[in-house]
Structure 1
């Protein structure tokens, strides 16, 4: 195998596929990046068995030559060394040549490196996916869906199903739900489905986080293919495979309260800043990271945000609301959960609907029913 390639394009593809590579794999060859050169261009692959990423670099794009192939072939190179090496090469053009015994020469300008590679034939094959369950969604909307839900997955392996995001597809609508049983994030979006089939799958949060990092923020459509145990995301020159989590995702619809006892409307930024300030003194003690919210009878239109750690001190902050309706309220909750939820919401103003001091409460942007955040309170009063 022998080819020369633009360094920047090689770096981008190497960084993309590296996101699927784990140093803790029990299959040694999976610590490497597979590089295949054929008549059409270069294909790089990285995998850890759970996630597999394939990046294709065409010979030319928009009339510009990117790759010049002198000899087709393949090699697997250690990801750790190859990634660092490529980033530090001095010139814009990189030449890669595989010699006898899988010895690989990498040249750029006056620099020359030699790496011992592995046989590309030994690299595990990517999942073979039958593309009969397919739908499409714009890349930027997919990135929003991931960002606004994935933070709420569980990090505890005691209930593995909760470490993923539940995707429910019905009537050309995608409903994404994540919960760690203390909070819940939900987002819906319209999709383009080819066959109107219903699906209910759970994608690992880790997979979605990695996918989000490598997708460009464009309106180009991403094709999503679902099988019994795999999901494939197809973007321009990129294939991203992820295994699905096995098991039944809990029915979260009954967690979302339908009644409202107190509703406040508040500016997102001001509220977030007040929670952030209160959390500074709430990091120690028995109720670490818990802040309190109270409506004030004495001064209508204001809410009080406070935290108190006896050995550190206390903070009291007041926030002007756009409106407050319903019963008087005192409630405590995790500052981190609230800040995570507020950062995921888009919009200048939010509505927070409470149904009592010990019942879950719902946060939504004003005039947007597609996104919902739910948080369970903490008992302190």
Structure 2
């Protein structure tokens, strides 16, 4: 293999592939980035066996020649060193040449590096998408749906299926659900897709969702999404993202969301969030990070208490309030995460009782639902 490429394009491809490279693994080949030069492109692949990211740089585009190809081939380069070298090369153009004994020569400007490569035949092949269903979605919408749900996924492996985000689609409605049994996030949105597109129980690991969120651009470009029984595939321009899916049945969660409330308040999202942040300063080091909320008409009171530190109280007015007086305790961090995900100037919070789950929605729509279980306190 032998080619010349612009440093900016090389760095772009390598940096994206590097995001999927295994940091802790007993499989040496997964510590590398696979580079493959074909007749029409140079591709860079990183993988940790769960997530794979491929970035393709076309040899030629309408605007210019990106890659000057001298000899086709492939190699696996040690990811850590190769990525650092590429980032710090002095010239604008980079020459990469692979020798018979898996040696890699990298030249740019007056600098030359020689690295020991690995056999590309040992590198795992990218998944085959057999029996897949596909749709297209604006990049910014997919990015938002991940951001508004992924934080509620479980962080421990006690119930492995809960460490993922469930994707469902029916009647052109895409829905994401995440829960750790103590809180739940649900986001739905209409998409343009074939009328027969339907899938359920597609559970994407939260780690994969977070990596995908980093890759996606916050714009209206359409991305291609394909799902199979065990793989998710997302393509945005020259970047291809693959993730394995979690095995098992995700629990039925819709029945957990209360449909009526005994007490309901509408508050300014930013002000309520800031007030909780202030009150929680005295409780955030405790295990449950408890804040107590008292509702009496439109008068709200937030309180936290720590025997070692002291007590914090803040009073504020709801924009609207109806229903019965209520006193309830909750995990402050759960509430802060939910408020930040609402994306609305005003939030509607419905309570069904002091020990029943309560829900948060934007004032004017219910595309996003955040559910939190209250805490039992003395």
TM-score, with structure 2 as normaliser: 0.97
**2:339 alignment partner in structure 1:** 342
**2:84 alignment partner in structure 1:** 84
**1:208 alignment partner in structure 2:** 209
1:355 to 349, 352, 357: 352
Q: In 2, distance between residues paired with 1:52 and 1:61? A: 25
Q: In 2, distance between residues paired with 1:24 and 1:102? A: 24
Q: What is the count of residue pairs matched by the alignment?
A: 377
Alignment pair present for 1:40 and 2:30 = no
* Deviation readout 1:220-257 (Å, 9 max, x if unpaired): 21111111111111221121111111111001011101
Q: In 2, distance between residues paired with 1:6 and 1:343? A: 40
Deviation at 1:265, TM superposition (A): 0.4
Contact 1:34 1:76 in 2 (8 A): yes
* Deviation readout 1:285-334 (Å, 9 max, x if unpaired): 5x6411111124xxx53311110101101111122211111100111100
Deviation at 1:193, TM superposition (A): 2.3
**1:222 alignment partner in structure 2:** 223
Contact 2:171 2:195 in 1 (8 A): no
Q: In 2, distance between residues paired with 1:10 and 1:338? A: 43
Alignment pair present for 1:67 and 2:67 = yes
Q: In 1, distance between residues paired with 2:74 and 2:339? A: 48
**1:306 alignment partner in structure 2:** 303
| Secondary structure of 1:64's aligned partner | coil
State how 1:1-381 maps to structure 2 within 5 Å.
Answer: 1-130=1-130, 132-194=132-194, 196-200=196-200, 201-285=202-286, 288-296=288-296, 300-381=297-378
Deviation at 1:30, TM superposition (A): 1.1
Q: In 1, distance between residues paired with 2:80 and 2:268? A: 46
RMSD of Structure 2 on Structure 1 (CA): 1.4
Q: In 1, distance between residues paired with 2:78 and 2:63? A: 32
Please, which runs of 5 or more residues in structure 2 have no aligned partner?
none
Deviation at 1:132, TM superposition (A): 4.4
| Secondary structure of 1:218's aligned partner | coil
* Deviation readout 1:32-64 (Å, 9 max, x if unpaired): 000011121211111111111111011233412
Please, which runs of 5 or more residues in structure 1 have no aligned partner?
none
Q: In 2, distance between residues paired with 1:341 and 1:350? A: 10
